[in-house]
């Protein structure tokens, strides 16, 4: 078991996106921006599906959903959820984002919403190329990524990390090596990920932050309902702004396969 598999074997991935209002912003934004590409004929593949959260959210809007993950615990949790919800158009597959066990041009929508968090540039390119391979021509591919500047601010500014950061090691790793001080996460910028995907032959449709400016996240969880609704309105109106998207924790870039 490698360190990434070990991380998720001991992590509550199935509840991450709904644990707090702060964390829910990411999934609400992702679903909002993916919704135009979902219909009853859409065959979806999610690479790095975790416990199948997005599949369970969109199952009634699409034809089929296949979720692949490298972590056996996540796949077992997803299989249990499929059984409990009697979701006949959902499927869980154990596998690697670098070598997908699927035929060429099989899916209308490919979601790569986690692997790039943990891959260096060489392996990220492999994962991107595999995502392109299994996507139909003119199909849609969405990639999630982690912003290196936003994550540095988050680690330095949020209350739960007080006393731990900043450190010289973290600063050097993020700025020079695009990784954290443990080598578990890899970061990029909106501009860098766009350049990488364009060089792979993809057309960029959207590029945004899914959780907004990171330094304020601890405050969001304490909002009243009316305050939270106003924050969502602000976030949805500004998440594509170049001056803001690089300061988010997570980013989402939606592309079209045109070749």
List pLDDT tens digits, range 62-118.
999 999 999 999 999 999 999 999 999 999 999 999 999 999 999 999 999 999 999
| Poorest-pLDDT segment among 57-61, 127-131, 188-192, 221-225 | 221-225
Note if the bond before 112 is cis, omega within 30 degrees.
no
Is the pLDDT score of 44 beyond 90?
yes
The pLDDT, as a whole number, for residue 7 is: 65
Is the pLDDT score of 132 beyond 80?
yes
Q: pTM here?
A: 0.92
Dihedral of CA atoms 186, 192, 194, 195 in degrees, nearest 10, equals: -120
Please say whether the beta carbons of 111 and 124 come within 8 A.
no
CATH assignment at residue 95: 3.40.50.150
Higher pLDDT, residue 219 or 166 = 166
**Mean pLDDT (whole number) for 40-56:** 97
**Mean pLDDT (whole number) for 11-20:** 61
Which tokens hold the place of 119? 């891959």
Cα 80 to chain center, whole Å?
22
Q: Is residue 113 helix, strand or coil?
A: coil
Q: Domain span at residue 69?
A: 3-257
Is the pLDDT score of 176 beyond 80?
yes
The pLDDT, as a whole number, for residue 103 is: 97
- Residues sharing a CB contact under 8 Å with residue 256, sequence separation 6 or more, in sequence order: 138, 139, 140, 141, 202, 203, 205
- Residues sharing a CB contact under 8 Å with residue 86, sequence separation 6 or more, in sequence order: none
The pLDDT, as a whole number, for residue 17 is: 59
**Mean pLDDT (whole number) for 139-157:** 92
**Mean pLDDT (whole number) for 118-141:** 97
Higher pLDDT, residue 28 or 222 = 28
Between the alpha carbon of residue 10 and those of residues 3, 15, 69, the distances in Å are 11, 13, 15
The pLDDT, as a whole number, for residue 2 is: 65
Measure the CA angle with vertex 121, ends 171 and 71; round to 5°.
95
**Mean pLDDT (whole number) for 145-164:** 85
Number of domains forming the structure of the chain: 1
State the chain's mean pLDDT as an integer: 91
The pLDDT, as a whole number, for residue 12 is: 61
Which tokens hold the place of 188? 């990029």
Is the pLDDT score of 165 beyond 70?
yes
Instruction: Tell me phi and psi for residue 166, to 5 degrees.
Output: -80, 160
Q: Judging by DSSP bridges, how do beta strands 135-146 and 43-47 pair with one another? A: unpaired
Is the pLDDT score of 247 beyond 60?
yes
Please say whether the beta carbons of 187 and 151 come within 8 A.
yes
């Amino acid at each position: 078991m490698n360190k990434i598999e070990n991380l998720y074997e001991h992590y509550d991935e199935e509840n991450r996106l709904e644990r707090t209002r702060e964390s829910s912003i990411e999934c609400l934004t992702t679903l909002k921006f993916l919704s135009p590409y979902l219909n009853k004929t859409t065959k979806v593949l999610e690479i790095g599906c975790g416990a199948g959260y997005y599949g369970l959210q969109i199952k009634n809007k699409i034809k089929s959903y296949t979720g692949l993950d490298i972590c056996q615990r996540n796949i077992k949790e997803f299989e249990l959820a499929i059984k409990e919800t009697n979701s006949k158009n959902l499927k869980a597959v154990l596998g690697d984002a670098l070598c997908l066990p699927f035929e060429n041009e099989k899916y209308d929508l490919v979601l790569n919403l986690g692997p790039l968090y943990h891959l260096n540039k060489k392996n990220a390119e492999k994962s991107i190329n595999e995502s392109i391979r299994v996507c139909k021509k003119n199909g849609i591919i969405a990639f999630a990524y982690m912003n290196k500047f936003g994550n540095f601010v988050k680690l330095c500014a949020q209350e739960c990390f007080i006393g731990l950061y900043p450190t010289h090691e973290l600063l050097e790793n993020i700025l020079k090596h695009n990784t954290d001080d443990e080598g578990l996460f890899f970061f990029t910028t909106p501009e860098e990920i766009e350049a990488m995907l364009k060089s792979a032959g993809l057309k960029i449709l959207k590029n945004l932050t899914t959780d907004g400016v990171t330094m304020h996240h601890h405050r969001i969880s304490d909002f009243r309902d009316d305050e939270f609704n106003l924050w969502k309105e602000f976030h949805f109106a500004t998440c594509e702004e170049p001056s803001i998207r690089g300061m988010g924790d997570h980013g989402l870039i939606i592309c079209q396969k045109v070749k």
